[in-house]
A and B are shown apart, each in its own frame.
Chain A
Amino acid sequence: MKIVLVNGGLSEASSTTRLVQAIRAELARVADERGLELDVMEVGLRPLAHDAVNMVLTGVPSANLEAALDTLEAADATVWATPTYAGSYAGVFKTFMDLVGAQRLEGKPVLLAATAASPRHTPMVDTAMRPLASALRAWPVPVGIFSTGEPGEDLTSRITAGVEGLLLALAGGGGELGAVMKKARVQAGKQQAEAVRSTLAAPQAPVNRTKPQAPYLASDGKAALLRPDTEDFTEMGAIFGALS
């Protein structure tokens, strides 16, 4: 199982980085205790911040940025950790997530975590991060983690609960959810296409069967996968028949 932590910490030795380390430690502890094979990787956003903005502006990913996006795509589950700025996730974190898009994490369990300077923004995990997870079609586990570093904060039990939630979601079929969701979308696309096909085909006299029977392509073309998807096409013969 490959678990990738997105570390949105932006300062050196940031509290977000410390929270990420604590979550990694808990993942390692649980894996060790239960004999799970966990491949844990981390994507730090600080060194990718400029590249992310450049990609928003030009559409061209740097090699490092593309590698980070590929790492997320290969993950079975992810952990998102961001500092809280102005009551929400950091702008750099959102900029990066905009590039991740709705395909790479589809159906995959995600554990949401944030740090902040004050407990005033505690709901941020549920009011900002959870909708973002929905937009990216990821599957957030119920327990989120929010840390201000204040004395008496019961962080350990939250991390334990969050990590348990993530592993349960993984064990409970989280890994396959993405495939199931994609299949449902492709199925819907095919039904749409079939409806178009039959409508077009029905009233035509043979001599007029020149109307192209273009189905709606089940295309994810506009979503943000970088390498061209050479499986995302419909054979032209299926649309226009053999070329005379």
Chain B
Amino acid sequence: MQVGIFTVSDISENPVTGEVITEHQRLKNIVDLAVASEKAGLDVFALGEHHNPPFVSSSPTTTLAYVAAKTEKINLTTATTLITTDDPVKIAEDFAMLQHLADGRVDITLGRGNTSPVYPWFGKDIREGINLSLENYHLLYRLWHEDVVDWEGRFRTPLQQFTAVPRPLDGVAPFVWHGAIRSAQTAEQAGYYGDGFFANNIFWKPEHTQTMINFYRERFAHYYPERQAMVGIGAHSFIGDTRAEAEKYFRPFFDHAPVYGYGPSMEDFTRETPLTVGTADDVIDRYVRLMKMYGPVQRILFLVDHAGLPHETSLDQIERIGTVVAPALRQAAEEMWPDQHEAPTHASLVAARDAELAAKGEAPYSDAYRFHTGDNWTGLRAEDSQKSDGTLDR
């Protein structure tokens, strides 16, 4: 099981000191969190996409590419990429670029977003949210899986003989997680494509998250009875040396936080949602219980840096999660589900594709450049470069 962190990149006032950091500093801190996560032994770093204050990350792939250059092992993903309002062509291109530069350490988590005004800013209608996510992802899927795409849909300019470049690294698209809180259609969508399902989990009641995960498993099994579903969940904690210390430190940040601040008490919220404030053991106990409840889980991503928490505090949380919580959760997963496969990586996806080609008796994948390199202006068609026997015409 992979354990990591995700950030939504909010710039919130530190309610204790009144400090508000600059956008520049926040971005640098975010990169720092990613590097620290790798050092602490975490497996995944995820960055959100927003288009309004108080968030700073509007374009995750630039940041993730920079992180990729500063790290060696950690997997990079998003939390989430807005499949409703982003152009699927641009998503296909941006993430293929990132995938090449990061040598495959990239997957993507899609979401519908949580800020309704974003839709009109990008010329979309929020009432079409579900339909946008269905149609846009279908195009994204085809752009990654087919060299040449003809496309006509309800939401985007048609495409004729379009090739998204660069082609995915080693001919294998980034693995896709479909993020949702309560939309059954998203779970159905994840099942249909054989993709992963990422349940937001935090700020919400575990029994409802469980309903969604079970439904995803059911639909995945409907489409791919012989394959294993991939489940990810969000996590929300604050860890101290003692429970009292953790509560004392975190309370002012809780009380003034975006989303849940000025609402329920920290005690109510920790009881009703997966937020856990206490020792590392408290967090381990709570999340092992949630993992049992949700069935095999392949990925857990913790939120550690929101609500104006000082950067050093977030780094300390990463250290505690990486060195204490993550090993315990991985071990619990190993004991509970010894036969489960890990979440896909680029290497495992390439191996699976190669095995599939071999099983079909087809030629091994070649990454030789397969497009014309001459006249790029008048009707470039990839299939024109094939001779009638299917070999390339060079």
Contacts and interface: CB of A to CB of B under 8 A. Distances in A.
A180 interface: no
Contacts of A234: 185, 188
Interface stretch (B237-245, B263-271, B287-295, B356-364): B263-271
A230 B273 contact: no
A66 B187 CA distance: 24
Contact of B193 (A57, A207, A243): A243
B184 A233 contact: yes
A228 B193 contact: no
A232 interface: yes
Contacts of A233: 184-185, 187-188
A230 B215 contact: yes
A72 to B, nearest CB: 18
A227 B154 contact: no
Contacts of B150: 207-208, 210
A59 interface: yes
14 contacts: A57-B263, A59-B204, A60-B204, A60-B273, A210-B150, A212-B154, A226-B205, A228-B184, A229-B184, A231-B184, A232-B184, A233-B188, A234-B185, A236-B134
A58 B152 contact: no
B184 A58 contact: no
A58 B193 contact: no
Contact of B192 (A216, A231, A236): A236
A239 B151 CA distance: 15
A202 to B, nearest CB: 13
B90 interface: no
A237 interface: yes
B360 to A, nearest CB: 15
Contacts of A13: none
B164 to A, nearest CB: 15
Contact of B130 (A59, A221, A226, A235): A221
B185 A217 contact: yes
Contact of A230 (B142, B153, B204, B211): B211
A62 interface: yes
B151 A210 contact: yes
A60 B182 CA distance: 13
Interface string A154-197: 00000000000000000000000000000000000000000010
A236 B273 contact: no
Contact of A243 (B192, B205, B207, B259): B192
Given A54-B263, A62-B268, A219 B205 contact: no
